[in-house]
Amino acid sequence: MLPDQAFELPEATRELRETALGFAMDTLAPRALEWDQARHFPVEEMRAAASLGMAALYVREESGGAGLTRLDAAVVFEALAMGCPTVSAYLSIHNMVAWMIDCFGNDTQRARWLPELVPMRLVASYALTEPGSGSDAAALRTRARREGDHYILDGTKQFISGAGASDLYLTMVRTGGEGPGGVSALLIPKDTPGLSFGANERKMGWNAQPTRQLIFDGARVPASALLGEEGQGFRFAMAGLDGGRLNIAACSLGGAQAALDKALAYVQERQAFGKAVADFQNTQFRLADMRTELEASRTLLWRACGKLDAKAPDAGAFCAMAKRFVTDTCHKVADDALQLLGGYGYLAEYGIEKIVRDLRVHRILEGTNEVMRLIIARSMLGRR
């Protein structure tokens, strides 16, 4: 393989990207601002994406999924985010839940849930964070106690994307003692008695998906809702987050690329002091830096995807590096794009201010970027 070829996507992945990009431009981009302003959750449009295989990208083919790689998925989420980062990010969450059921569930759970999740007839959310445990996920307090053939849940989950609208919640709960070894995972349907939802949070961005609390007050689910065995939930959660970090980095990349494309078109048309803004050297330098930063982000992301696909021992550290670098860098690129448009960049109708708002949360979720630095440093020092 020639050096240049090592950095090229396979033809099938390029075709997948074109399909996803076409869907993003035709279906997501024209209504993204409307959905943001109306706080509308576009479930039907996401089901249309699911009809193209985008709701179960790395679920195995024998389980009804597309059976693709993490690199394929990252390319798809980047393309979708060029239409709307919020929708792409939610699709990444749904994909993660479907994959976790396929990977860690039993035959009965796969048969029960995947035929509904793959086409998005049912929509899924992931529930780990709590009011008192965000970055310190192993300190979660939501309790599930076993009573005969059921678990009884009490506690609250915070910042849950899709809450109240989703049909299924893959929820991390404490079934044992303190620390990660006491955490288990349960599959909890929306209509579970004792489950209710908080108010839809008013947020800086991500307005096209609801964010609410899950409130468990004596909620009762059958013991068959347990994913894997008791005490395995934290391991499942961390495995899910490795892929989730790549996905959210890809969403940042797509959003930033869309912002750069908008800015590039604008500076070639906008006149100032008798010439196009693009003719100023300062503009050219900024554009050059923005493209370089996106290409560096894309290269690191793809390498991290390759590590996770290969199940490399250092895959977790690479996922953390990609998440930290790409989300920080791409938020800066989007903000630089807004600056190039001046006052127009601040107006909603140009679309860049929405991208800046949407991408800001990517530096917080799936593990804050400060936690990513801890993961990277501990891997360098040989510490867990």
- The pTM is what? 0.95
18 is annotated as an active-site residue: no
- CA distances to 103, 130, 245 from 310, rounded to whole Å, are 16, 32, 16
pLDDT in tens, the chain (384 residues): 334 445 788 999 999 999 999 999 999 999 999 999 999 999 999 999 999 999 999 999 999 999 999 999 999 999 999 999 999 999 999 999 999 999 999 999 999 999 999 999 999 999 999 998 877 878 899 999 999 999 999 999 999 999 999 999 999 999 999 999 999 999 999 999 999 999 999 999 999 999 999 999 999 999 999 999 999 999 999 999 999 999 999 999 999 999 999 999 999 999 999 999 999 999 999 999 999 999 999 999 999 999 999 999 999 999 999 999 999 999 999 999 999 999 999 999 999 999 999 999 999 999 999 999 999 999 999 977
Q: What pLDDT, on a 0 to 100 scale, did the predictor assign at position 4?
A: 47
Tokens 């670098």 sit on residue? 325
- φ/ψ of residue 34, rounded to 5: -60, -45
Name the nearest CA neighbour of 109 among 120, 122, 100: 100
Q: What pLDDT, on a 0 to 100 scale, did the predictor assign at position 138?
A: 81
φ/ψ region of 10 (left if φ > 0, alpha if ψ in -120 to 50, else beta) reads beta
Q: What pLDDT, on a 0 to 100 scale, did the predictor assign at position 134?
A: 76
* Side chain identity, residue 99: W
Q: Of 44, 353, 366, 370, which one is the catalytic site residue?
A: 366
